[in-house]
Amino acid sequence: MTQTTLTIRPATGADVPQILAFIRDLARYERLEHEVRATEAQLEATLFGPKRYAEVILACLGEEPVGFALFFHNYSTFLARPGIYLEDLFVREAARGLGVGAALLAWLARTALERGCGRLEWSVLDWNTPAIGFYRRLGAVAQDEWTTWRVTGAALEELAGGRRQP
């Protein structure tokens, strides 16, 4: 890939097919492609509809999108301030090593500060050593004392209906 101008821009509704393609590429990289259920219609509704649950930025070399970040606000009760949670970050293999990931994270860091956020955080799979090394070089610190918990599918439905008891 030839080195051209790198730009970061907010995604628009017209970018939904590209966003879904990046999600699928990320899932393939993370060996989780079988878990992708997202459709263009769902992304259009949840990212660009009346209630927007998340935001997406695209990294482009010239006019070509080569990476993306999907993020949303969370909240720290200890800081009494919002934060930004980075749900997904992905850079196409051909564009890795060109500063695309760092540019996406720098954009998010600036946005966090502009919006009065107290932190920027994300999760990474424990086997993804290239990403872990990259994040450490940027000054990120692992929160090893925390374990992420998740309720989904039938367990979520049971909990919501009060049918799941400890």
Residues carrying an active site annotation: 135
Q: What is the DSSP letter of 161?
A: T
SS3 54: coil
CB 58 within 8 A of CB 50: no
Three-state secondary structure readout of 2-22: CCCCEEEEECCHHHHHHHHHH
Q: How far apart are CA 54 and CA 8, in angstroms?
A: 17
